[in-house]
Amino acid sequence: MSRLVVVVVVAVVCLFGCGPQSADRSPEPSPSVGGVEATLPPGPATESPGALPTPRFATRQGPIERSCPDPFAPACVDGYMRLAELLQPGVDDWPARDAATLAALRELRHPEPGSASGGAWAAEWADVPDGITEEQLASELRRRLGFDALLGGGEVEVRLREGDGGGAEEEARFRRFELALRHPRLGGFDAAVRLPSVDGPVPLVLVLPGHISGDGFVDDVWTGLAGERMAAEGIGLVIARPRGADAEAVESAAAVRLLSAGHSLIGAHAAEAWLLAGAIEHLRAEGSLPPGRTGLLGHSSGALVGNVLCRLSASVERPPLAACVNDLYGDYFKLLCSGERCWVLDETDPRLRGLRHPLSALAGLPTLSPRPPYGLAAEDGSDREVERALEFFGARLR
């Protein structure tokens, strides 16, 4: 599939839209919507967090079982449902909570006259003041996403296994690997690795795709993002596999449930990506992957996760990401509604809406500026935006 086709396919999905926070306090009421009294947990405590938790990684041997062979199956988001229960133990009325959450989100989409802006999320719905510092932004991101709670829970199991290649000709250019992680709270998730067949250090780019077209999307990403070109220039890709990224009912069920638990799906996705970046460094340190620097390439809703991740990376003493390229910014609120039926997309977190402007800014980050167009697609159909991204990664990661 050509790069242009890949861009068009993903754009068709993401034209419809392309979400966390945490707390353990008593629920607060939001305005009644359609006769439903929406009751939601508020944001987490307001004190500034300290250093980010340092995940403990442990390499395991043995076969790799894909966490989600069918990315659109309802069972694919079971891990997120379990995560909600771990974050809010003792809840026995999840359907009622989910209905209240959806009602509150619908009101934000079309607020009733005179209703409070932001509803149950009013404290974080408003824009933060101009002049927020990078340190304050990173602190607010962690607080609103409940990031520390998502990362906690214990040891992260890491498995790396070489996959079946495409024959000697392909192996002369690159090798295929599977990377699988299992986290006590986030469950199992995985990524496809394409490692160039070169000696010495190898820069790696962690790719966060948006909504996907099926299990064959890895090859689409490889083609659409000039993977062969990257391999030829000694750059490898680690392509994250989203769970349930169908932009429909499966994704919406997970997004609503995590919002009902005081967190969000975009927060879970950010935590998974953070752990993938950490696992790459862990595997480099033990010699399972070649040494080198790591960058990030976010596309569509993956870029919205990438915007969060790059800010968090830049806030720590040893940033795991040396370069970021993200092709989209947004307001972190997206519902697709038809009549009384609504789907909540993975980017939705009303508590991030107030941070949308500083999150879209590029200053202070190791990022490509100006921001590349969606899908790295130049208006004239040329490859100049792909070239620009490749040059940027080459300069920052070597």
Domain hosting residue 14, numbered range = 3-24+80-90+131-397
How far is it, in rounded angstroms, from Cα 121 to Cα 239? Answer: 33
> 112 pLDDT exceeds 70?
no
Across the range 73-80, mean pLDDT stands at 92
Which of 61-70, 267-276, 326-335 is predicted least confidently? 61-70
**Which pLDDT score is estimated for 113?**
64
pLDDT higher than threshold 90 for residue 148: yes
Among the listed ranges 37-46, 65-74, 75-84, 245-254, which one has the minimum average pLDDT value? 37-46
pLDDT at 8 over 50: no
Higher pLDDT: 189 or 42? It is 189
What's the whole-number mean pLDDT along residues 115-125?
77
pLDDT category, 49, cuts 50, 70, 90? low
CATH number at residue 310: 3.40.50
**pLDDT at 214 (0 to 100):** 64
Does 319 sit behind a cis peptide bond, omega within 30 degrees of 0 on the bond before it? no
Please indicate, yes or no, if residue 107 is contained in any of the structural domains.
no
Question: Which pLDDT score, from 0 to 100, does residue 15 have?
Answer: 28
> What gap in Å lies between CA 6 and CA 52, rounded to an integer?
36
> Do 204 and 276 meet the contact criterion of CB atoms below 8 Å apart?
no
Of 87 and 69, which is predicted with more confidence?
87
Of 16-30, 55-69, 266-280, the least confident: 16-30
Of 102, 103, 97, the C-alpha closest to 31 is: 103
19-33 residue pLDDT tens: 333 332 223 333 322
Q: Is the pLDDT of residue 320 over 90?
A: yes
* pLDDT, position 215: 63
**Residue 64: inside a domain, yes or no?**
no
Which of 4-8, 113-117, 254-258 is modeled with the greatest confidence? 254-258
DSSP 147: H
**Confidence (pLDDT) at 9:** 30
Mean pLDDT of the chain: 84
Cβ neighbours, 10 Å, residue 56: 10
Residue 338 lies in a domain: yes
Angle of helix 78-87 versus helix 265-286 axis, rounded to 10: 100
pTM to 2 decimals? Answer: 0.86
pLDDT over 90 for what percent of the chain?
61
Total number of domains constituting the chain: 1
Q: Does residue 111 form part of some domain?
A: no
CA 148 to CA 51: how far, in whole Å? 9
pLDDT of 4 over the 70 cut? no
**Can you tell me the distance from the alpha carbon of 108 to that of 338, in angstroms, rounded to the nearest whole number?**
16
Mean pLDDT of 295-311: 95
- Residue 87 contacts residue 263 (beta carbons within 8 Å): yes
Confidence of residue 54 (pLDDT cuts 50, 70, 90): confident
Q: Is residue 117 part of a domain?
A: no
Average pLDDT on 209-225 reads: 74
Residue 122 in any domain: the answer is no
326 has a pLDDT exceeding 60 = yes
Asked if residue 260 is part of any domain, the answer here is: yes
The answer to whether position 242 is within a domain reads yes
